[in-house]
């Protein structure tokens, strides 16, 4: 075998033959034959990758898939190997019974393995597209070695006595400094308690390797030979780690989002539900998973919802938005506005739906009870929970204040408040208590601010104070400290113990002709930096 670069034991002919990819993958079929009887001892045949279509059961004789006219030549080759040893090859046509393969040929390679199996012949067959004459006189041993070296995995063959009779270059390269570890794992896999393939993952030289050991036993459960393969799965491991990290990030964002969200399968069942949606339904997220959206939808609104969803499935629309009623676990109705969109796979097929849900019960109640258009207009610009001006009012106010009629002497300053440690209040005492805390904070801010200073609820646990009174940096600092002091004061009477929350404050100074959205964005970013720096802090917005 000179020139092949293989690691071969001169004492074992198996070194050229019994390779995992030749036994299970490279050859279309491999059969271990008892040369004294012509009967098969074992067959390696994977119908998922083989190009031959053979019966599911092990064939009685090794020649049944060969053309009868070519049998004499094949039998001569088998007999020569059985009597003389070594390896020989020939080419035979496919048996006429295999109509799908008529016109093709089989390359047959036979190898003497009697040192491991008494009277043993290992016969490989490959379905080939070439003229049979092209293989006349082919060197079977060299063909086996070439295939083994070209294999993308490391291959090693052991005889029944534990001697390594073959190892390709890829195996040697992968095993590196971990040879003792790999040997121990192979020997453990060949313990008498094991009967079939053993798969083991191990770390060698900073790489993740997958070891597969395939033993062959005789009728008395004595090891005849074993084929081990090593595959570098580091990239798959790293990809899996990235996938797990991405799923963890998605889950954290999904669960912690204040926007009520659900992932729904094609049967309308909740696959993932966050706490915000569960709260709207008066249930836990675990209780909703597995239920259908129909179970929590008011019966009078279900038909329209299902009709719109059917149109999305049919490709008539990409998604939809509608108002409907959920049925709370306590029995009362909850008005919501849902936005549904489809999730598609790489082929464009819909796999899931994502629903974003907004509780609009308060808005519905105001519309139902308002006595005049003035009252409706008021509540359109004010927060329903705290009574403070809302985001819409704030945007309008800032647009007007920063407009062309703004006085040069006015020094408009925005203080953006993001409450600290508010989520634990909801988690520990419930959302109703959380709402009361927000109302209490709103009253304190309104009482702390002067009459001409605007206090607005920006959304969730965020508030904004706008002032034009501050003439100096010290004025701004004093106002921010008064606000922080008011927020930090313990709230009593809502729980058995006082409730304490804080705030991180970002301060933005309006420049000439500045857009209100940009001013708020800078102040919001400053409050985020304050929270990251340790909470309860004040940060100036970057210009």
pLDDT in tens, the chain (543 residues): 333 222 333 333 333 334 444 454 456 778 888 877 777 777 777 777 677 777 666 544 445 667 777 777 777 778 888 888 777 777 777 777 665 655 567 777 788 878 777 888 888 777 765 444 444 444 444 545 555 555 567 888 777 777 777 787 888 888 888 889 998 888 888 875 656 778 888 888 888 888 888 887 777 777 777 788 888 888 887 777 776 665 665 566 566 666 788 889 999 999 988 888 888 888 888 899 999 999 999 998 888 889 888 888 888 777 888 888 999 888 888 888 888 888 888 788 888 898 888 888 776 666 565 555 566 667 778 888 888 999 889 988 888 887 654 554 467 899 999 999 888 888 888 878 888 899 999 999 998 888 889 999 988 889 999 998 887 888 888 999 999 999 999 998 888 899 999 999 999 988 666 778 888 888 999 998 998 888 889 999 876
Please name every residue paired with 278 in a beta bridge, in sequence order, or none if there are none. none
Q: Tell me the longest C-alpha to C-alpha distance in the chain.
A: 111
- Gap between the Cα atoms of 38 and 64, Å rounded: 11
Q: How many CB atoms lie within 10 A of CB 47?
A: 10
For residue 482, give every residue at least 6 positions away whose Cβ sits within 8 Å of its Cβ, in sequence order, or none. 448
Instruction: Count CA atoms within 13 Å of residue 541 on its CB side.
Output: 23
* Closest listed residue to residue 32, CA positions, set 115, 144, 122: 122
Strands, sheet with 270-273, edge to edge from the N-terminal-most edge strand: 270-273, 260-264, 350-359, 333-344, 319-327
- pLDDT tens digits along 199-231: 888 888 888 888 888 887 777 777 777 788 888
Please spell the DSSP secondary structure of 417-479, one letter per residue: EEEES-HHHHHHH-HHHHHHHHHHHHHHHHHHS-TTSEEEEEETTEEEEEES---SHHHHHHH
φ/ψ of residue 301, rounded to 5: -105, -5
Nearest residue to 541 (alpha-carbon basis) of 314, 532, 525: 525
Global model pTM greater than 0.75:
no
Q: Are 28 and 52 in contact (CB under 8 A)?
A: yes
Say whether 44 sits in a helix, a strand or coil: strand
100: burial class by Cβ within 10 Å (0-12, 13-18, 19+)? exposed
Order of strands across the sheet that contains 105-112: 39-44, 29-34, 120-128, 105-112, 87-93
288 C-beta neighbours (distance < 10 Å), count = 21
**Token pair of 257 as six digits:** 């989002």
């Amino acid at each position: 075998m000179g020139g092949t670069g293989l690691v071969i034991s001169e004492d074992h002919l198996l070194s050229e033959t019994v390779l995992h990819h030749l036994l299970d993958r490279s050859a279309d079929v491999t059969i271990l034959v008892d040369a004294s009887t012509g009967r098969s001892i074992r067959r390696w045949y994977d119908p998922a990758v083989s190009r031959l279509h053979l019966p599911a059961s092990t064939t009685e004789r090794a020649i049944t898939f060969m053309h009868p006219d070519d049998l004499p030549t094949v039998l001569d080759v088998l007999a020569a190997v059985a009597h003389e040893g070594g390896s020989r090859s020939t080419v035979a046509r496919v048996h006429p019974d295999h109509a799908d393969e008529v016109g093709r040929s089989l390359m047959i390679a036979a190898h003497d393995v009697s040192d491991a199996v008494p009277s043993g012949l290992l016969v490989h067959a490959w379905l080939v597209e070439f003229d049979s004459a092209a293989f006349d006189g082919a060197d079977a041993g060299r063909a086996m070695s070439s295939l083994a070296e070209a294999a993308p995995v490391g291959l090693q063959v052991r005889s029944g006595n534990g001697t390594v009779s073959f190892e390709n270059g890829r195996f040697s390269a992968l095993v590196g400094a971990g040879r003792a570890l790999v040997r121990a794992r192979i020997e453990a896999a060949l313990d008498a308690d094991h009967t079939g393939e053993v798969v083991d993952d191990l770390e060698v030289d900073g790489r993740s390797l997958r070891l597969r050991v395939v033993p062959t036993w005789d009728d008395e459960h004595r090891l005849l030979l074993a084929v081990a393969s090593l595959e570098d799965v580091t990239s798959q491991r790293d990809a899996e780690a990235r996938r797990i990290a991405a799923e963890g990030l998605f889950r954290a964002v999904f669960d912690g989002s204040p926007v009520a969200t659900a992932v729904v399968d094609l049967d309308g069942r909740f696959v993932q539900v966050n706490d915000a949606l569960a709260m709207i339904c008066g249930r836990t997220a675990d209780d909703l998973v597995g239920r259908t959206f129909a179970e929590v939808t008011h019966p009078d609104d279900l038909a329209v919802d299902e009709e719109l969803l059917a149109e999305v499935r049919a490709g008539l629309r990409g998604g939809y938005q509608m108002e409907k009623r959920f049925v709370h676990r306590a029995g009362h109705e909850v008005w919501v506005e849902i936005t549904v969109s489809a999730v598609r796979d790489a082929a464009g097929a819909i796999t899931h739906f994502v629903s974003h849900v907004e509780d609009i019960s308060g808005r519905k109640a105001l519309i139902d009870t308002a006595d005049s258009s003035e009252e409706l207009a008021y509540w359109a610009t004010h927060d329903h929970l705290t009574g403070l001006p809302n985001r819409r009012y704030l945007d309008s106010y800032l647009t007007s204040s920063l407009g062309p009629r703004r006085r040069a002497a006015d020094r408009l300053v925005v203080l953006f408040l993001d409450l600290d440690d508010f989520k634990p209040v909801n988690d520990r005492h419930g959302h109703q208590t959380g709402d009361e805390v927000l109302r209490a904070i709103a009253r304190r801010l309104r009482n702390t601010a002067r009459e001409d200073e605007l206090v607005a609820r920006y959304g969730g646990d965020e508030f904004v104070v706008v002032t034009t009174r501050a003439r100096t940096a010290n004025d701004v600092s004093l106002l921010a400290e008064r606000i922080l002091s008011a927020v930090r004061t313990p709230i009593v009477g809502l729980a058995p113990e006082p409730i304490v929350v804080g705030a991180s404050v970002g301060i933005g100074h309006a420049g000439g002709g500045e857009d209100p959205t940009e001013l708020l964005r800078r102040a919001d970013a400053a409050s985020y930096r304050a929270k990251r720096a340790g909470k309860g802090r004040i940060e100036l917005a970057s210009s």
